[in-house]
Structure 1
Amino acid sequence: MNSLKLTTCIVAAALTAGTAFAADTYGPFPVTVKGYGGEKANSVAYSGQVARHVLHDSLKKLAGKGNGGANAAELEAQMLSYFNGSDKDLPIIAPVSKDGFPIKQTTVNELSSGKNIAGKFYDGAMPAWPGDMTGKEVVLHMIAQAAKADGGFDAANGYDYAQLISKFTMGAMPFSQAVDNYLDEKLGAGTKPNGEAYKDGAYYTGKEHVWDEAFGYFGAAAHSLTLSAEDNYNVAKMKDLAAADANGDGVIDLKTEYVFGPAYYAAGADKSGKTAYMQTITQAFIDGRSLIASAAGENLTDAQRAELQGYAKTIADNWEMVLAEATFKYAGSVYKDISALTEAADDAARAKAYRKYVKHWGELKGFAMALQSGKNNLGKTAVHLNRLIGYGPVTLDGTFVSGLDADGNFEKNRKMSWNSYQLHMLRVQELLANSFGIEARANDQTAELAGLVDSLSGDGGAETD
């Protein structure tokens, strides 16, 4: 996969050259539904996906609100209202306005009503987590555990539930839905045809809306292609009102002017100057939508659909790379955190280093699970990734989670040295580099691999029962 980015960029450029309606923003695109007599002039619609991003961001925020058990039942119910959806108009908990970055919407229904995460969550097997669970069962287990934890932090087992829930969901909802649904079977000729409205009375065709929904799941702003990687990153961080406010009205419309998780991580990788994931993915989305618009409400020809599927492959391949890059990055963070832990001067410094280590491990584990939630069966790569990372990190007493007991409690009946677990992190980076052709390589620690292997040779104590 080493040539993936170059190949997909070439494909995207080649396809762009022959596509009508070429643009540098995602919309507006004309209404092409035959016989439509309404007032709509722009056929773009993906507010439901934006609502789900907001539900995710709010759920992540809530995952850190536990007080160690006293508010567990109330907090779990609140978290589940954002995961399962609610009859009430839920307040947006994140992202919310701050000084210098006002946000237009304050409730979820201002974006789209009746939306949830649960109905769009990956529900295949997820062997990366103990308990032989499906993806949805895993995240529900995490939610229940987060509600009981103090600030979402389980020091004994080494879990940061806000990070675990968020990063896993980033793959199990938007990535899974986009690459294994909207950009896959829903591009078939007999599914949501372009020659018909998506549903009775709709101002968009079947294929127009299918493509829009996939774009919405990626989480880019409509004008992201006009911004640099740094600009897109800063919009997601709520640091650059001027870059975000495309229409100049002084407030940020979450529907079109904000950058959500998947696109944020694409931009984060691209800041290295070594990759162009954000540009490549967003351009492919725009070019694909332009192609659909050029069909003028007629069913796509076989040639047009094949071209559209080429854009879809560009998107899916690069999006998977974004998740692999993030997993690689946090494996390096965990490696460095272990060094800080072992070198801590006192208990206070050690506690601070441990908290940072657990946060980064949650991000590593969540993204590793996200990678396994897409269209591709990662096979032995996933098996080795799960073995190296484990069900939980090595904790302060050297033990780590090895499973669940009959009552659903975490078991910790194995031990590993810090150096041995550092070696695991380097093996994770090596595996990802070899399997995916990582190019941004943030926090690359693989140069330490040979030396660490030498230092551990003959100790025979990598893992014990």
Structure 2
Amino acid sequence: MKKSLLAMLIAAGAMQAGATSYEFDVTLKGYQGDATSSVSYSGQIARHALHNSLKKVVSQGDEAVMLQYLSGTEDGRKLLDPASKDGFAIKQSSIDELSKGKNLVSSAYDGVITGWPGNPTGQELLEQLVAQAAQSNQGYDPVNGYDYIQLVSKFAMGAVFYNKAVNHYLEEKLEADQHPNNEAYKAGVPYTGKEHVWDEAFGYFGAPAHGLELTPEEVVQITKQNPEYFAKADANGDGVVDLKSEMAYAHAYYAASIDASAGTNYFHTIMQAFVDGRQLISDAKGERLTDAQRSELKAYAATIATAWQQVIAEAAFKYAGSVYSDLEKIAAVEEAHGDVSKSFRNYVKHWGELKGFALALEAAGRDLGNAQAGLDRLIGFSPVLFGDMQVVAQDGQGGFVQASSGSMQEYKLNMIKVQNLLAQSFDLKAKLKDKTGGMSDVLKQIDAAGQSAEND
């Protein structure tokens, strides 16, 4: 009873404090149209759909199809994911129904990515990964240890969504001379400059508009299109899930997934800051924001950027733990003289997720200092392969150069160091699949094998 009363009081307080859903009326002075909502981020949702669909086709090996979703802008592209299934109907079935003429690569980070051979820009790396995926076996390259499905997906989320939101809309676009709040974003639209700037950042996070009304587990199950959670997704009760406002994507999903597993609060922290910031803009009633208002708005933006970065770092931390476990399984299977192909495939998949998220941290144009150099060196350009080899460079013709590296046992130690580095550098809270307590055991295993571990 006490818990129920407390929950009611908290809910009532939230209602009094402001909006609980990302829905806001028109405030633009002089607007003559019939729109009642000032919220618009359909272009960002189109890019989420492009990303999801690209991930689907990477395993098909058809570069032309992959490029339709990476860099194409043509009409008629089918929406491959999310798509309707039994018990979970989706309103849209094409990219055009979300927004026309959008692609991923033109919005990707154009700075240098040091964690990949050749130091490509983020845009170049996405194009390279797609070209290399087309030469692989259904997105899998066992020779160099690459799972392109994971590398393309995890890096694209960082290079496009995270980068554009925190390095563009929540930073430079909040300055006074950028899209002021007392002017329309462009002629004929029902929203002000600052309203739309904030909306575009929110769209890239990928949360349902009613995200504050959902638990992390509900957000996770909505993303997975679990029919048992359809009613939770269908906020307006019209019988279909509108991808523009009722679906969860990308880092919103990962934030909720971490929270559901660890009891942290990343998803709601980010969602609340987005809603509160948008409420602040709406409360200005179409007037130019004062310096004090912009200062408060920048504080919300900083909360979002910090927690969003932590979500990506938490995901990298988790997959470093998965890579560690995979290496243990490979060693056990080898010792039993079994078939290591399945264990190696899982190892490559999890490494792709680790590397993709680590590269995503670079893709916001933010100085990570020693953390970036440490992640690059500890993770390397590929997993450690059989024969103690690792990719060290590209050959200039789209291939990779391998050289001798430490052993897989030493690479386990690297994964512990990666977790320590991420936890300390980004003040992580969840730390799922934490292997940092096993360092002494790994060192003993290395010593027993007569190996020396370099202390990067």
TM bucket (normalised to shorter chain) is: over 0.9
2:156 aligned with 1:161, yes or no?
Answer: no
CA change 1:220–1:418 in 2 (3 A) is same
Among the aligned pairs, what percent are the same residue? 50
CA change 1:375–1:411 in 2 (3 A) is closer
In the alignment of these two chains, the number of paired residues is 439
1:198-234 per-position Cα deviation (integer Å, ceiling 9, x unaligned): 0011110000000000000000000111000100011
Matched-pair contact (CA < 8 Å) for 1:223–1:257: yes
Aligned partner of 2:195 among 202, 205, 208 = 208
Deviation (angstroms), 1:273: 4.0
2:373 aligned with 1:379, yes or no?
Answer: no
CA change 1:353–1:163 in 2 (3 A) is same
Name the structure 2 match of 1:358. Answer: 348
* Structure 1: stretches of 5+ with no match in the other structure: 1-12, 67-74
Deviation (angstroms), 1:272: 2.9
Query: What is the correspondence of 1:61-72 to structure 2 with a 5 Å cutoff?
Result: 61-66=56-61
Query: What is the correspondence of 1:103-182 to structure 2 with a 5 Å cutoff?
Result: 103-182=90-169
Aligned partner of 1:339 among 328, 337, 356 = 328
Name the structure 2 match of 1:50. Answer: 45
**Distance in 2 between residues matched to 1:406 and 1:86, nearest whole Å:** 29
Matched-pair contact (CA < 8 Å) for 1:274–1:439: no
Matched-pair contact (CA < 8 Å) for 1:46–1:213: yes
TM-score by length of 2: 0.93
2:207 aligned with 1:220, yes or no?
Answer: yes
Deviation (angstroms), 1:155: 0.6
Name the structure 2 match of 1:69. Answer: none
2:24 aligned with 1:34, yes or no?
Answer: no
2:422 aligned with 1:432, yes or no?
Answer: yes
Query: Which segment drifts farther, 207-216 or 232-241?
Result: 232-241
Q: Describe the SS at the equivalent of 1:338.
A: helix
Name the structure 1 match of 2:231. Answer: 242
**Distance in 1 between residues matched to 2:34 and 2:225, nearest whole Å:** 34
Q: Describe the SS at the equivalent of 1:401.
A: strand
Name the structure 2 match of 1:24. Answer: 20
**Distance in 2 between residues matched to 1:190 and 1:336, nearest whole Å:** 51
Name the structure 2 match of 1:7. Answer: none
Deviation (angstroms), 1:449: 1.0
CA change 1:273–1:338 in 2 (3 A) is closer
Which amino acid counterpart does residue 22 of structure 1 have in structure 2?
G
Task: Indicate the structure whose relative CO is greater, using CA pairs within 8 Å and at least 6 residues apart.
Answer: 1
Deviation (angstroms), 1:396: 2.7
**Distance in 2 between residues matched to 1:348 and 1:181, nearest whole Å:** 51
Matched-pair contact (CA < 8 Å) for 2:74–2:101: yes
Aligned partner of 1:399 among 378, 383, 389 = 389
Matched-pair contact (CA < 8 Å) for 1:324–1:371: yes
Matched-pair contact (CA < 8 Å) for 2:19–2:275: yes
**Distance in 2 between residues matched to 1:193 and 1:181, nearest whole Å:** 15
Query: Which segment drifts farther, 207-216 or 78-87?
Result: 78-87
Deviation (angstroms), 1:443: 0.6
**Distance in 1 between residues matched to 2:174 and 2:157, nearest whole Å:** 23
Aligned partner of 1:312 among 281, 290, 301 = 301
Deviation (angstroms), 1:237: 1.0
Matched-pair contact (CA < 8 Å) for 1:146–1:161: yes
CA change 1:19–1:315 in 2 (3 A) is farther
CA change 1:457–1:396 in 2 (3 A) is closer
Name the structure 1 match of 2:181. Answer: 194
Q: Describe the SS at the equivalent of 2:307.
A: helix
**Distance in 2 between residues matched to 1:114 and 1:335, nearest whole Å:** 42
Name the structure 1 match of 2:282. Answer: 293
**Distance in 2 between residues matched to 1:137 and 1:20, nearest whole Å:** 48
Matched-pair contact (CA < 8 Å) for 2:49–2:81: yes
**Distance in 2 between residues matched to 1:286 and 1:145, nearest whole Å:** 40
Name the structure 2 match of 1:278. Answer: 267
Aligned partner of 2:245 among 240, 256, 265 = 256
Matched-pair contact (CA < 8 Å) for 1:21–1:293: no
Deviation (angstroms), 1:59: 0.8
2:255 aligned with 1:266, yes or no?
Answer: yes
1:125-164 per-position Cα deviation (integer Å, ceiling 9, x unaligned): 1010102211111111110010111110001110000100
TM-score by length of 1: 0.91
| Structure 1 stretches of at least 4 aligned residues deviating more than 6 Å after TM superposition | 17-21, 345-348
Deviation (angstroms), 1:347: 7.2
2:311 aligned with 1:322, yes or no?
Answer: yes
Q: Describe the SS at the equivalent of 2:405.
A: strand
**Distance in 1 between residues matched to 2:121 and 2:398, nearest whole Å:** 15
Matched-pair contact (CA < 8 Å) for 2:41–2:200: yes
2:359 aligned with 1:369, yes or no?
Answer: yes
Matched-pair contact (CA < 8 Å) for 1:19–1:287: no
Name the structure 1 match of 2:5. Answer: none
**Distance in 1 between residues matched to 2:438 and 2:14, nearest whole Å:** 47
Superposition RMSD on alpha carbons, in Å?
Answer: 1.8
Name the structure 1 match of 2:412. Answer: 422
Q: Describe the SS at the equivalent of 1:397.
A: coil
